[in-house]
Amino acid sequence: MTKLSVNINKIATIRNARGGDQPNVLKAAIDCERFGAQGITVHPRSDERHIRYQDTQDIKPAIGVEFNIEGNPVPSFIDLVLEVKPHQVTLVPDSPDAITSNAGWDTIKNECFLKEVIAEFKTHGIRTSIFIETNEKMILNAVKTGADRIELYTESYADNFHKNKETAINPFIAAAKLANEIGLGINAGHDLNLDNLNYFAKNIPGLLEVSIGHALISDALYLGLENTIQMYLRKLKAN
């Protein structure tokens, strides 16, 4: 079954709005695992406007499920990852002022840079994934960077799902088939939710993991965190 990794950035955003330590981010990570999440994802940015570097350092020894740190591999991020040594690092080319991740890597233009960064992580036993769109050339070139996996950027799928779900998912099916052929593992994330998750998961061959934050945490405000995580898991199981 495709694994569910819960991105807890939005919990940190609420905490930071008032200062202090409510809600407690470490407790949220532990609770997500207790409620059934098979992974925890954080995306620390250099301005620490939601997840802080200290949060990342605190979470790793406190959980038993997979820990995924995603972000732009600037020097401070690289140092953090090498210190924490998560199970997986997901490289995202977001600018410091981006509200959220909004583009995948150009793996041709950035091949040398990615190859160097990924080689460093892999010497420390950290699985690497790169955030990428469905462009065939970019996926083919991802192999040259040494990445273990790609994370498909699913915003376009989510935006078009209710207009025509078959049309929306076709590029992702083609991308997944190509990734499978060339030996890249497949993760996915961005705007996946209770409406569109099941259709995506059951149609993407070899989908290993989805990372979901904003929609899941928003749903939890109404439905409760434990119930919400279980609802997302049921969407992944019903394939």
Q: Is 50 a catalytic residue?
A: no
Q: Tell me whether residue 231 is exposed, middle or buried, using C-beta atoms within 10 angstroms of its C-beta: 0 to 12, 13 to 18, 19 or more.
A: middle
Structure tokens that stand for 85 in this block: 């040594």
pLDDT at 94: 80
| Omega cis (within 30) before 23 | yes
Q: Which helix (H) or strand (E) holds 22?
A: none
Residue 9: phi and psi, rounded to 5, are -55, -40
pLDDT for res 10:
96
Neighbour tally for 47: CB within 10 Å = 8
Residues of the chain short of pLDDT 70, as ranges, are 95-102, 239
Query: For the domain with range 3-237, which CATH number is right: 3.20.20.70, 3.20.20.140, 3.30.1300.10, 3.40.50.300?
Result: 3.20.20.70
From 33, 50, 151, 190, active-site residue: 190
- Examine the residue annotation and report whether 226 is marked as an active-site residue of this protein: no
> Residue 105: its pLDDT value, please?
94
Say which DSSP state 60 is in. Answer: G
Q: Among candidates 98, 87, 97, which has minimal Cα distance to 125?
A: 87
Task: Record the pTM.
Answer: 0.95
Q: What is the 3-state secondary structure (H, E, C) of 168-217?
A: HHHHHHHHHHHHHHCCCEEEEECCCCCCCHHHHHHHCCCEEEEEECHHHH
pLDDT digits (tens, 9 = 90+) for 153-166: 999 999 999 999 99
Give yes or no: 43 in active site: yes
Where are the strands (E) in 21-81, listed by range? 39-42, 66-71
Contacts of 231 (CB under 8 A, 6+ apart): 194, 219, 223
Name the amino acid, one letter, at 23.
Answer: P
> Of 33, 43, 66, 133, which residue is the catalytic one?
43
pLDDT of the residue at 101: 58
pLDDT in tens, 88-118: 999 999 865 655 556 799 999 999 999 999 9
Domains in the chain: boundaries: 3-237
> Which residues 6+ apart lie within 8 Å of 29 measured at CB?
8, 40, 59, 62, 63
* Distance from chain centroid for Cα 73: 15
Q: Which of 33, 70, 133, 151 is catalytic?
A: 70
pLDDT at 102: 64
CA pair distance 148, 205, nearest whole angstrom? 17
